[in-house]
Structure 1
């Protein structure tokens, strides 16, 4: 009979001692983050983690739980995949500039830069433009990180940042016009000189090309803000008034790592409901899992929201960059 190998627990003195320098730096990073937003008059908020609607992103799987009332009645709940819905309700309520360091859960995720449970830094600023968010994000990075950072073999200087549109990135690295192929998977496959996989949609192929050909070039020598996302990938972002083919959205890359995702928020409740319903239909087609109710409370709140910019930043990944940690587990307490 072969004895099973015993995995050393993460709390063992040896493993904890190896992580402790990273964790001490993480604690300082948390303090510096709070100081940065306090100085800018942001109000730190806390919103529920167990909710009736955890999110509507097509490819995110949520953890299910339940709530038992004193009378014994049980309601299904989910651990949120982002505090976004709740924070938007606070914007509608008049909370103003708000920030949250929130624990979030995404089932089925795990890699050197992914964890099923992680910390998200999310903040919202009424009346901010996309350029305002870019400038504020760079100010934040410079406030909490050294001028040059190295993580997973890539060194990035924070002296200046690159801003490039999705269309420019596809033209530069794949020599194709991504906006001319929107929602036409065969056309995009032909332009990229690649075979379309079985049941692969335009969105699926877009992200396959992003992962293989675009992302490896982003956020290397300097941070990269990837803007001008095709409108079908707008999620909760507003379409660009100057070019309705794209959304007012950016993703930020530092040390080659996707670090943040930002929107100028959609404030049209009818359009938001239509997008949610389309996302739900797509999710049912792909996952076919038990669903949650549409958050009509959020739809009502969106009608009252001021024009705002919002950004979600992976705090554990930021800690990796701050400490040069090779794996996300190195910066987790347990």
Structure 2
């Protein structure tokens, strides 16, 4: 008798995921068709870079490049292609998009993976409102009219909600968030909650976001949460009409944060100051942790001075596929995803 065939250990896992993975391919084709039809140029940028990003809390993967002469250059796997893509926009003035693999160390949950796909695009002359319009159109093109997530039925066909952060805090937390900006004790009093030892205003802001705001938004239809406090500007420019806030939005659907977008800051001096503040905070939060001191990205900062007015967005492609496929685990939509 012939020897019995032993199934490959990946067979059952991939078979279970195959419907989700085939949906991934459909969404991928839809995304490319959407941007190609709108005149965007698809680009590819390096994954191993001298500067992986400046986010305070993100952990990164490190490596090094060995030169032919024996020299070694420290490199990191990028957490986003943002810096390189903005350099391309500054050099060409073209609208660009990329489906990039990105890496974030010390992450893993039903919504997080250490390696995943980010869809980013940058559009010269676009405003935040125009970018929201475009994002809505994209999602309607690649998602069914109703998606299910976390027990919610979310309508995609109707106009998405557009809600300012200050209005969300007033509605769901009873707090004038902008009046307390920078004062953790004042925010704790206004929110009627305890201020934990060592907790900053930013820490408490995000704790309240998770506990009191996020459970209410994006449950019936997707929600654009817009006009973030200026301290959360990151790479966004401040609103000229109200410098207390930044021209930034995040997109939520079914308890999932899908995207983060900016009307881009084009002032290299201000951006350098923000990066330096982020670096100081990162060192204070993670004292003695190795691998946190990479070079400032001078090429990116130089490019900002010639970057045309534009808006850009980073959208978690795997999470988009999760909504399209109706699954609650990111590993279900990755061919060799863990978990």
Q: State the TM bucket, normalised to the shorter chain.
A: over 0.9
Q: Does 1:143 align with 2:141?
A: yes
Q: Does 1:306 align with 2:305?
A: no
Aligned residues: 326
Tell me the SS of whatever aligns to 2:234.
Answer: coil
Which of structure 1's runs of 4+ aligned residues deviate more than 4 A?
none
Q: 1: distance between equivalents of 2:173 and 2:70?
A: 58
How far did residue 10 of structure 1 move? Answer: 9.9
Give the equivalent residue in structure 1 for 2:19: 21
**Which residues in structure 2 correspond to 1:67-82 (within 5 Å)?**
67-82=65-80
CA contact (8 A) 2:93 2:308 kept: no
Q: 1: distance between equivalents of 2:93 and 2:30?
A: 23
Q: 1: distance between equivalents of 2:321 and 2:272?
A: 35
How far did residue 327 of structure 1 move? Answer: 0.5
CA contact (8 A) 2:230 2:245 kept: yes
Q: What do you get for the CA RMSD once the two structures are aligned?
A: 1.1
CA contact (8 A) 2:93 2:124 kept: no
Tell me the SS of whatever aligns to 2:109.
Answer: coil
How far did residue 95 of structure 1 move? Answer: 4.5
CA contact (8 A) 1:152 1:325 kept: no
**Which residues in structure 2 correspond to 1:144-183 (within 5 Å)?**
144-158=142-156, 159-183=158-182
Can you list the C-alpha shifts for 1:48-98, whole angstroms capped at 9, x where unaligned?
A: 000000000101111001100111111100000000000011011014100
CA contact (8 A) 1:152 1:324 kept: no
How far did residue 198 of structure 1 move? Answer: 1.1
How far did residue 40 of structure 1 move? Answer: 0.3
Q: Does 1:134 align with 2:132?
A: yes
**Which residues in structure 2 correspond to 1:315-334 (within 5 Å)?**
315-334=317-336
User: Residues 202 and 10 (structure 1 numbering): CA distance in 2 closer, same or farther, change over 3 Å?
Assistant: farther
CA contact (8 A) 1:173 1:214 kept: yes
Q: Please report the TM-score for the alignment, with normalisation by the length of structure 1.
A: 0.96
Tell me the SS of whatever aligns to 1:246.
Answer: strand
Tell me the SS of whatever aligns to 2:76.
Answer: strand
CA contact (8 A) 1:89 1:301 kept: yes
Give the equivalent residue in structure 2 for 1:102: 100
Gaps of 5+ in 2: 1-6
Give the equivalent residue in structure 1 for 2:42: 44
Q: 2: distance between equivalents of 1:206 and 1:166?
A: 11
